[in-house]
Chains A and B, each alone.
Chain A
């Protein structure tokens, strides 16, 4: 796996001189910040109204848990934003190597295709983690306001990392199928949007299929994390997606050799 780190390192280096990676990062941080501040303002106002109402009806046993509402909403939003941004990071992963002819360099080097896939994934995943870093100060704000729920924050981030990893895996696979980055990006958008929202169609129908479709959906599993609930089932759900996507990517890279150069 030594080679995987070399490839991941190279990928990161290239991200840091690529305008698209900066665009993606800026977009992510800006949208996250905007949603976050809007939400804080909105919920604080709502909470104050609610408090007053509670006072009026004089029931002290009702308590609004404002921080967890804010955090829950925030993490849900983050996952939507990722959906917009991650395909920009993954669209070129294999597509660019093919276009530049460097895939031939990689495939004629003494590395295994599994190492290549792992390296590509690690590169994009590290970039994603770096992209998440600027959101950390948001929690400092919450902490200062006394609305600090470390459990929910940790679960939320775990959920984000998992959903991000699965999305990157799928983007990587799509990229290995495409010779054009735009096709790669939009293909990934298509698949991710479908996978994220199949559960909305499931709620319309009532059957075993509906349950299955719901189970397929990213958000169905992700929502638990944003509520601070970490379940093994949800973790293995995302891990399964990732492993499956990486496996398909490896197969697809092997197949590229048989295709027209």
Chain B
């Protein structure tokens, strides 16, 4: 339904969205999760045709945004971070106007406006000026304008961000009700929220996708873990050039699991396997990722259960093997860093 290829946006020297590629299937709900400034809004603005992309392609329902902008725009309902309202109009007049500029045929307009009003429970305020409504109601009017032309695609930018917890839950329920009829892309910086609504979550940071997963698996992976980063230098092994097929398969699994975009392995794969096995044998260690970066040194991320500290064991092991320990620090996983930022303003 939505296909995005190599979408990039630069503002001057800053890259707000960096080579994003993804597809959203019909009926799917995709969540963008990321701290402020991650590039969520910019991505949505490019998909909706408000911001021209620096490079890359967007197509909706087979229509390319550049070649057929009107066909694309007709198929999208878009709720911005701040709902685009005319406070001086009544709810009904406002929705009639939106229906008109979204090409709803005149004979169907009244019916679709009524339907949108019903779906977001605005019946009691339909003839009130928007200026007089509470924040929660305004947000619902925003949702109503996004669905009034019954678009197949809904793009919702932080639809609950400015609301109190009760209103937030209401809007969340509304979106859950809408999901059946629409393909939805929504953004948030609140993890529990996205996990309640989305089928699939992209974690965005600095314009890049850090991770893709189902909400359940993400939550699982992010649930408190310790991480240690070690840099070691191992003696050059004899079997330099032999690539072990087992190892390379393993490492590809690894990099998918962690979804860390890694460069082509340039380090001796036997060393990699050796290091992995050794560190995995340490008690308490749950996961080892060897980052095959350039140079003769191995960068290894060692995850362990919450509350454990494996630094001592790691150092001892490195010494026992006769490797050289170049660095050892306790660091939170970058995903966790993000997660902390994401969750810190959830009440």
Contacts and interface: CB of A to CB of B under 8 A. Distances in A.
Interface of A: 2-3, 6-7, 9-10, 13-14, 17-18, 100-102, 104-112, 257-258
A104 B86 contact: no
B132 to A, nearest CB: 12
A18 B88 contact: yes
Contact of A17 (B48, B70, B88): B88
Given A13-B93, A110-B73, 6 more contacts: A6-B100, A9-B97, A10-B97, A14-B86, A100-B84, A104-B45
Interface string B95-135: 00110111100000000000000000000000001000000
A101 B86 contact: no
Contacts of A14: 86, 88-89
Q: When A and B form their complex, which 5 residue pairs have the shortest distance between CB atoms, in order from nearest?
A: A105-B84, A6-B100, A110-B70, A110-B73, A108-B48
Contacts of B89: 10, 13-14
B88 A107 contact: no
Interface in B45-99: 45, 48-52, 69-71, 73-74, 76, 78, 80, 82-89, 93, 97-98
B145 interface: yes
15 contacts: A2-B100, A6-B101, A7-B101, A10-B97, A13-B93, A14-B86, A100-B86, A101-B84, A104-B78, A105-B98, A110-B70, A110-B71, A110-B102, A257-B51, A258-B52
Nearest to B131: A17
Contact of B101 (A13, A18, A111, A258): A111
A257 B84 contact: no
B97 A6 contact: yes
A13 B96 CA distance: 13
A107 B86 CA distance: 15
A93 to B, nearest CB: 13
Contact of A10 (B52, B70, B86): B86
Given A108-B78, A109-B101, A110-B102, A100 B85 contact: yes
A7 B98 CA distance: 10
A107 B76 CA distance: 12
B45 to A, nearest CB: 8
Nearest to A16: B88
Contacts of A6: 97, 100-101
B274 to A, nearest CB: 52
Give the residue among A100, A104, A112 with the most B Cβ atoms within 10 A: A104
B100 A108 contact: no
A108 B49 contact: yes
Contacts of B45: 104
A257 B145 CA distance: 21
Contacts of A17: 88, 129
B315 to A, nearest CB: 50
Contacts of A7: 101
B101 A3 contact: yes
A261 to B, nearest CB: 8
Contacts of A9: 97
A107 to B, nearest CB: 5
A101 B80 CA distance: 8
Nearest to A10: B97
Nearest to B99: A6
B84 A102 contact: yes
Contact of A106 (B51, B82, B101): B101
B306 to A, nearest CB: 41
Contacts of A258: 52
A104 B84 contact: yes
A135 B173 CA distance: 55
A74 to B, nearest CB: 34
Given A14-B89, A17-B88, A110-B70, A104 B50 contact: yes
Contacts of A109: 73, 98, 101-102
B50 A107 contact: yes
B143 to A, nearest CB: 13
